[in-house]
């Protein structure tokens, strides 16, 4: 028997022995969330252009979705429900399974600075894909909170009469629009950084697809 071949060829058995890094529910909610967030960003750009909060900032129509204001609003509201219900499932399962506390904590400013400087020097270890580094932990927590702010400020703009408390907490209708725009800018910056980091460590993409 060719023992070398037997040892080197990954079988279904050896593949299933590789540790599971991302459970199936996490992968499904992540990709649904990414899909919904991108649709909201691109259609939001078209809605913004119809009446810009900052007149000197215009989103290039070529990177917007919907074709016109009415079309963009339809995309925006359709993706909104997906983002909200999928987000609730993601957060609920994360907290209930205890994953939220083990994956994103402990987190410390000193650790973030250490890992950030290591990343700049190209010395950040990617040896254990089960653990996020401190910069990743912070970025993921920031984007989760940012998505909550996006949804709440969006609700304050969309249903400002029905949600007066939310509207006032945002500082009124006009300020809610500014909050919504700034939260969208944070999401866009996250996506650019996130996709760049994934491209630099392509193995992480495989774990988010296959789970192992
Ligand atoms: C558009 C909005 C997106 C958002 C808001 C987002 C958010 C997140 C969050 C919060 C996590 C951590 C998940 C957890 O462990 O609970 C994560 C992980 C990950 N995301 Fe995204 N993501 C987005 C788009 C993408 C895209 C387009 C890609 C592919 C290019 C991608 C690839 C990944 C990978 C590979 C991981 C795991 C990283 C690792 O294991 O080191 N994401 N994302």
Give the integer Cα–Cα distance in Å for 157 and 175. Answer: 10
pLDDT of residue 190: 98
Q: What residue segments make up the domains of the chain, in order of their start?
A: 20-55+62-210
Q: Cβ(75)–Cβ(35) under 8 Å?
A: no
Ligand 1, atom 36, residue with closest C-alpha = 208
68 Cβ partners below 8 Å, 6+ apart? 46
Q: Cβ(120)–Cβ(133) under 8 Å?
A: no
Region 122-138 average pLDDT: 89
Reported confidence tier of residue 118, pLDDT bands at 50, 70, 90: very high
Reported confidence tier of residue 18, pLDDT bands at 50, 70, 90: confident
Reported confidence tier of residue 130, pLDDT bands at 50, 70, 90: confident
pTM: 0.91
Region 109-127 average pLDDT: 91
Fold classification of 20-55+62-210 (topology level):
Fumarate Reductase Cytochrome B subunit (1.20.950)
Spell out which residues line ligand 1, taking CB within 6 angstroms.
26, 30, 33-34, 37-38, 94, 103, 129, 140, 143-144, 191, 194-195, 198, 204-205, 207-208
Region 32-58 average pLDDT: 97
Indicate if the pLDDT at residue 12 is higher than 70.
no
- Å from CA of 124 to ligand 1 middle: 18
Indicate if the pLDDT at residue 120 is higher than 60.
yes
Region 128-141 average pLDDT: 94
Least confident of 16-20, 65-69, 113-117, 176-180: 16-20
Chain mean position to CA 142: 9
Ligand 1, atom 15, residue with closest C-alpha = 103
Which residue among 142, 184, 194 has the greatest number of ligand 1 atoms within 8 angstroms of its CB, and so is best to mutate? Answer: 194
pLDDT of residue 1: 43
Mean pLDDT score across all residues of the chain? 92
Region 130-159 average pLDDT: 97
pLDDT of residue 129: 83
Reported confidence tier of residue 17, pLDDT bands at 50, 70, 90: low
29 Cβ partners below 8 Å, 6+ apart? 86, 89, 90, 93
Ligand 1, atom 41, residue with closest C-alpha = 204
Q: Cβ(170)–Cβ(143) under 8 Å?
A: no
Indicate if the pLDDT at residue 13 is higher than 70.
no
- Å from CA of 30 to ligand 1 middle: 6
pLDDT of residue 128: 85
Indicate which atom in ligand 1 lies nearest the CA of residue 144.
Answer: 10
Give the integer Cα–Cα distance in Å for 181 and 56. Answer: 14
Indicate if the pLDDT at residue 147 is higher than 90.
yes
Region 83-91 average pLDDT: 98
């Amino acid at each position: 028997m060719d023992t070398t071949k037997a040892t080197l060829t990954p079988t279904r058995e050896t593949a299933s022995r590789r540790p599971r890094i991302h459970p199936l529910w996490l992968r499904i909610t992540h990709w649904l969330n990414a899909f919904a967030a991108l649709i909201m960003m691109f259609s939001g750009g078209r809605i913004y252009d119809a009446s810009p909060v900052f007149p000197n900032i215009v989103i290039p129509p070529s990177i917007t979705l919907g074709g016109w204001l009415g079309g963009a609003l339809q995309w925006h509201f359709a993706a909104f429900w997906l983002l909200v219900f999928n987000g609730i499932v993601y957060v609920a399962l994360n907290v209930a399974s205890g994953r939220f506390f083990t994956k994103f904590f402990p987190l410390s400013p000193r650790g973030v600075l250490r890992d950030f400087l290591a990343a700049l020097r190209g010395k950040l270890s990617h040896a254990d894909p089960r653990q996020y580094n401190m910069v990743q932990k912070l970025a993921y927590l920031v984007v989760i909170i940012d998505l909550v702010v996006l949804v709440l400020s969006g609700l304050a703009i969309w249903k400002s009469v029905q949600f007066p408390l939310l509207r006032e907490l945002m500082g009124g209708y006009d300020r809610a629009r500014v909050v919504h725009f700034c939260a969208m800018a944070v999401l866009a910056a996250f996506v650019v950084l996130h996709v760049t980091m994934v491209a630099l460590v392509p193995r992480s993409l495989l774990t988010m697809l296959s789970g192992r």
